């Protein structure tokens, strides 16, 4: 039996699995099995370690902001973050990112905890432009292709996304997001955009139309920042939940925080008999 936590970070249901005995070479296979609706069911899986410095490894070795925020909320629940006023803070190791990731959880009275994760940049990633109005934003562990327009049908989506990855030359990336972004920078302190994300993970071969995407939210905000120069954005997810992005200039460059509510939906033990 293996301990698991199913967490919904504003959409994007995520399974965090404590399974140090599962070798990295089999993690993608196990993840595909437990994401199935006939098992636990989710959009993605991460493998967690609590001893020493907490660590999260995603199912394909990619980086995922929403899974990192979910892990932060789990660490807060377990008392493994440090109090800082009303907040809880800490640092975690995450696959796809060479440096530690700072996390912060703010308990909200009569509401869900608000969990944030921070990525540090010496300089903000620059958009790369491709034919067909495509914009590529590379963030740690995943590259995102951003476009306007309407998402293709479910039948057309796999071949459509494959053509985009070929055009943008990102077939060898650990993960690629295909993002449909609506809205413009507008005016005001925190303009809003609507995001519709699809994420492809190379090692699992999965293409998932996600109900929320943290790294896609980051990429969308970076693209909007390049257009407008603004540093705060609210990005609405297909789940109906908004994730916030805040860019702060520091001596080392930039701290970019992505945050939103996190819900613990289920926890317990799962039987992997027949999977391992």
- Alpha carbons 110 and 100: distance in angstroms, whole number: 31
Whole-number percent of the chain with pLDDT over 90: 80
**Contacts with 205 (C-beta within 8 Å, 6 or more apart), sequence order:** none
User: What is the pLDDT, as a whole number, of residue 109?
Assistant: 61
Mean pLDDT, to the nearest integer, of 130-155?
93
Give the residue, 169 or 184, on which the prediction is more confident.
Answer: 169
CATH architecture, range 128-246: Roll (3.10)
Alpha carbon 58 to chain centroid, angstroms: 10
Task: Share the mean pLDDT of the chain.
Answer: 92
pLDDT the model gives residue 185:
53
pLDDT in tens, 174-188: 999 999 998 755 555
pLDDT at 188: 55
Whole-number pLDDT of residue 204: 85
Phi, psi for residue 36 in degrees, rounded to 5 = -60, 140
Alpha carbon distance 65, 85 (integer Å): 24
- What average pLDDT does this structure show over 153-182? 95
Distance CA 13, CA 198 (A): 14
CATH 3.10.310.10 residue ranges in the chain? 2-122+261-270, 128-246
* Mean pLDDT in residue range 260-275: 92
Please tell us whether the domain made up of 2-122+261-270 is placed in CATH 2.30.130.10: no
DSSP character string of 148-198: -S-PPPTTTHHHHHHHHHHHTT-TTSSEEEEEEEE----SSSS-EEEEEEE
Going by C-alpha positions, the residue among 217, 209, 207, 214 that lies closest to residue 151 is: 209
Overall average pLDDT of the 152-166 stretch: 96
> What's the mean pLDDT in 78-84?
96
pLDDT of residue 183: 73
Average pLDDT over residues 136-151: 93
Helices within the chain (DSSP H only):
24-35, 65-77, 157-167, 214-228
Q: In this model, does residue 261 exceed pLDDT 90?
A: yes
């Amino acid at each position: 039996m293996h301990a698991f936590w199913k967490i919904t970070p504003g959409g994007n249901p995520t399974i965090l699995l404590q399974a140090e005995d599962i070798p990295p070479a089999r993690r993608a296979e196990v993840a595909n099995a437990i994401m199935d609706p006939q098992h636990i069911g989710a959009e993605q899986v991460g493998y967690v370690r609590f001893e020493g410095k907490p660590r999260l490894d995603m199912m394909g070795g990619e980086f995922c902001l929403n899974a990192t925020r979910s892990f932060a909320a789990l660490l807060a629940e377990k008392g493994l973050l440090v109090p800082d006023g009303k907040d809880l803070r800490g640092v975690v190791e995450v696959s796809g990112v060479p440096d530690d990731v700072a996390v912060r959880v703010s308990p909200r009275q009569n509401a869900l905890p608000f969990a944030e994760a921070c990525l540090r940049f010496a300089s903000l990633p620059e958009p790369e432009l491709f034919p067909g109005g495509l914009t590529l934003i590379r963030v740690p562990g995943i590259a995102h292709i951003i476009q306007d327009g309407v998402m293709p049908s479910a039948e057309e989506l796999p071949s459509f996304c494959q053509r985009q990855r070929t055009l943008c030359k990102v077939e060898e990336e650990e993960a690629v997001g295909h993002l449909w972004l609506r809205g413009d920078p507008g005016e005001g302190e925190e303009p809003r955009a609507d995001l519709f994300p699809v994420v492809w993970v190379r090692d699992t071969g999965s293409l998932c139309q996600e109900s929320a995407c943290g790294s896609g939210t980051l990429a969308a905000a970076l693209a909007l920042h390049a257009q407008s120069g603004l540093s705060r954005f609210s990005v609405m997810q297909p789940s109906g939940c908004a994730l916030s992005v805040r860019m702060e200039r520091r001596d080392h460059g930039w701290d970019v925080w992505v945050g939103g509510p996190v819900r613990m939906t289920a926890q317990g033990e799962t039987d992997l008999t027949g999977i391992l």
